[in-house]
Chains A and B, each alone.
Chain A
Amino acid sequence: MDWTLLGQQIANGVVNGMNYVLISTGLTLVFGVLRVINFAHGEFYMLGAFLTYFAMSTLGIGYLPAVLVATVAVGALGILVNRLFFWPLRKEHEFTVLLSSLGLALLVTHGAELGFGHDPKYLNSPFTDDILEVGSIVLTQQRVLIFAAAVLVLAATYAAIRWTTFGRMMRATAQNPEGAALTGVDIRFVHTITFVLACGLAGLAGALVGPVAMIFPTVGSWAVLKGFIVVILGGLGSVPGALVGGLTLGVVEALAGGYVSLGFMEAIGYAIIILVLLWRPQGLFGSAAR
């Protein structure tokens, strides 16, 4: 057994997992508050990466300011998306909302293919070439940045949901929308901010991961599939579930990719879900749905 290799695989898995957590927290928040599965969530990840790329090339700013611009821009897009695609359908059947988000995903992907071209693009970051050594494990600074930024942002998000007035409004809406509305919670405002948060987190994930992967318009469907695995694993609507689910998926995938086969790595993610759901149908941290 090569322990250094194992440690390296686990470290890579944890970084990838943290990225999955960043993607799926938004998905799980939107589900928790609106009871909606957002198929278009991966598209915001894709937009985050592309906006960072264009902010750097057209505005001529550095990588970190570009990440900030992209995150804020994608978050702001959340207002529009909620207004046009989700708020008007809130009383419709869940299929209708699911399909509306699927339509939005197709619109954004095909629009991006037309606007940005099919060719993969490379996002330059000053941190991709420098490395950081911890013992015998080597990580690029970009990966350390992904991990650190994710921990920071997720901690802030969790604290906001837990301890602020807005967080309390959000949790009230998640538990009982009518009841929350009766006590004076502005449901529409809560929905909007939830979307801004969710889109911003997905956009940030795209902006951070862009430099370590190629970016192309259909990358969103990859991101949303990972997000689905994670939220089902952890339990839909649960933020701690997204954390545990994301890290588990990242590590298991890295180990499977390193020791079994890269090809079947994708299938392994789903195989874990099935095993977990056979044991706990509602996911690790979820409460029974319906």
Chain B
Amino acid sequence: MSPRPVVVEPTLRVHSLHALAYCERLFYLEEVEEVRVADAAIFAGRRLHARLEQEGERVEVEVSSEVLGLHGKVDAVRERAGTLVVHEHKRGRHASGEGGPEAWPGDRLQVGAYALLVEECFPGTEVECRVRYHQTDTTVCFPLDERLRQDVVAAVARARLLRASGMRPPVTTEERKCARCSLAPVCLPEEERIGSGAERPRLFPEDDVRQVLHVTTAGSRVGRASDELVVTPPEGEGEPVRLPVRTVSALVSHGAVQVSSQVLALCVERDVGVHWFTSGGRYLGGLGGGGGNVQRRLRQFEALRQEAVCLGLARRLVAAKLEGQLRFLLRASRGDVAAREVMGSAVRDLSALLPGCAEAASLDVLPGLEGAGAARYFGALPYLLGDDVDPRLRFDGRNRRPPRDRFNAVLGFLYGLVHREVEAAIRSVGLDVAFGCFHQPRNSAGPLGLDVMEQFRVPLADMPLVASLNRRAWDAEADFEVTSDRLSKVGRAKAIELYERRKRETWKHNVLGYSLSYARLVELEVRLLEKEWTGTPGLFATFRLR
């Protein structure tokens, strides 16, 4: 008989058992999908360990065992009267049991696993566990007894089972745990529970508080000095601007801007997106998002290869876009009898197209519906501009590449910025822009980016632009390069400001029921899209303007 190949399963981090005891979904996200978000508590824990090391308190020992299927680092192992004592340091407080201080179940499991590993190295020796809780300054001791052994073995078996399965476990039923979980913005437990109706605690996925840095001056150079980004304008145009890298969330370069390779390396390391636009405002592409995410991508490809899934998503997407356009027209002409009269047919046609989207028999029908909707919408849009808007800024139909009038120049530029936002969100969620549901795969632009973007054209670009024109915020001479109908440097800065301010405006989600900024909404939509094929379908593309 020929020997069978032995497949050795990789060992588990002991630390992952701690996550497993807390929440199976947390374990899955961290250990299988490798999504790790370090929050303040995690850094505080690391600092505690760094301090102990400096005080000579800690002797890290690395242990592993293929029999147990575990590996990890023990904080310290000391011998005391013939017994080996496994030490573990925890920053927080102890659990209160019936007979005094106790260790939390996760901590018990973790230390128990270390004890088993240590025992394997020194067979026959008595092993004891000690957990020191620094906040309450208490030490909890317990022996490595039969119950603890069984608990560890059962936990390892459960962890292996979860790791082998392709399904993400459901969110925990103990909601309190989610409030303190560092992965809540990725896991989105609240959104998963939305169907069950009851009143829920709100878990806001927080906004990125870092700045988006747009470099628009042709001839600028972006360099690196230790952990700072240094933007040097061309000779004679002012002093360099220095920005600490941790205060920047994305570096956007418009046109002829030099970005050094050292800056790129720093940005990749520090999770700062880098994006390039042409000087005319076309989005070229970007960097960022980290590697891996292979599980998420495989699931995306698997789901989007099914025609039924694609069709379902595309129907909703086109319906969302058309309804967005319709609602904007209605909203902007509210109370304006004259505008309503002129737009009457456009509004009627758009409403008539909506049921068609929900029933579209195939993907080929949808672009026709979308085009028909766009024609009606852009046909009606000029009537939303006030009478006192400069005639040179007026709009008469959408055109691009290159834009033939000033309105289209700004609109195209704003769409480019929206496109950047969406692609950055897709990357940070870990999906692949190159495979979408509605747009066909092409080499130049990522179809998924274009898909998700459809919902955001109206709220993030059209609405603020029309409003700013009615406010007479644009100067037909200074803001444009008259020869080519492109934005000038001043105009570009204006458009960026208009967009970035709009992005920060908060808005109450009509389905999820809580307020969030548009910037956050873009990322949320991508996460909801991923949920379409990971167990909670039905939320993507459901947001609507009021």
Does A associate with B in a complex?
A: no
